[in-house]
Amino acid sequence: MQESFWQARWSEGRIGFHEPAANPLLTRFLPQLTLTPADHVFVPLCGKSFDLDWLLSQGLRVTGIEFNQAAVEEVFDRLSLPPQITETGALTRYQAGDLTLYCGDVFALTANDLGPVTAIYDRAALVALPPETRPLYAAHLIKITQSAPQLLIGFDYDQTLTDGPPFSTPQDEISQHYADRYAITELLSQPITGPLGARTQGMEQAWLLTPT
């Protein structure tokens, strides 16, 4: 998807992916990552997700990246955290307390920008990207985090019945992107609900990716 696609979704309020509270699969399965306070979680393509607030409430340091500036600013507003704002190359960096959000393209984010990452939380990030971009995204994520462990939420449904995003990323595809670097464990598979569930049937899956 081009940036213009996502900016239009945001400006027109077509953000059915945005949930009213932290994702239940995050709160249920975060312990699988065996994090300790002050560990650093990277949330690619974070939107204005309440997952960010919840991760902070667990005592974690959190870094996200998102195209939409208003979404980034809304997160800091609702947390009553006035950010320091700096330009870093093609990205704008918002930072306050334990939260850093970059505004811009994830492909412009470097390992140096990010610093050492303890874990990645991917909800509606890999599945937001079209087929030709997903291998590039997965390789970029591995590169900038040195294959940090991941909690990854995806979908498995018949792509011929409805278009993405969110796209179907079944186990075979997760393996294509990540099996070279990670042991892949299915944590859960349950029927798709929400906006995608209204369009098609299939399974929502949570995966634990452990570096090998």
Ligand X SMILES: C[S@@+](CC[C@H](N)C(=O)[O-])C[C@H]1O[C@@H](n2cnc3c(N)ncnc32)[C@H](O)[C@@H]1O
The nearer residue to ligand X, 18 or 28, going by C-beta atoms, is 18
**Residue number with the shortest CB distance to ligand X?**
47
Is residue 138 near ligand X by the rule CB under 6 A?
Answer: no
DSSP letters along 27-63, please? HHHGGGG---TT-EEEEET-TT-HHHHHHHHTT-EEE
Stretch that binds ligand X, among 87-95, 123-131, 139-147, 197-205 (CB under 6 A): 123-131
Separation of first and last alpha carbons in the chain: 31
User: Least distance from C-beta 108 to ligand X, angstroms?
Assistant: 8
What binding mask, one character per residue, do residues 154-193 give for ligand X by CB under 6 A, x or -?
Answer: -----------x----------------------------
The nearer residue to ligand X, 16 or 212, going by C-beta atoms, is 16
- How many chain residues interact with ligand X (CB under 6 A)? 19
The nearer residue to ligand X, 46 or 141, going by C-beta atoms, is 46
Residue position matching structure tokens 């890999």 = 126
The nearer residue to ligand X, 22 or 35, going by C-beta atoms, is 22
What binding mask, one character per residue, do residues 48-87 give for ligand X by CB under 6 A, x or -?
Answer: -x---------------xxxx-------------------
Q: Which helix (H) or strand (E) holds 93?
A: strand 91-96
Structural contact between residues 122 and 83, judged by C-beta atoms closer than 8 angstroms: no
**How far apart are alpha carbons 3 and 114 in whole angstroms?**
21
What binding mask, one character per residue, do residues 17-46 give for ligand X by CB under 6 A, x or -?
Answer: xx--------------------------xx
Structural contact between residues 196 and 155, judged by C-beta atoms closer than 8 angstroms: yes
Q: Which of 139, 21, 127, 6 is nearest to 78 (CA)?
A: 21
DSSP 8-state assignment for residue 167 = P
**How far apart are alpha carbons 104 and 8 in whole angstroms?**
15
The nearer residue to ligand X, 135 or 183, going by C-beta atoms, is 135
**How far apart are alpha carbons 192 and 81 in whole angstroms?**
35
User: Least distance from C-beta 133 to ligand X, angstroms?
Assistant: 8
Q: Which parts of this chain interact with ligand X (CB under 6 A)?
A: 6, 17-18, 45-47, 49, 65-68, 105-107, 123-125, 128, 165
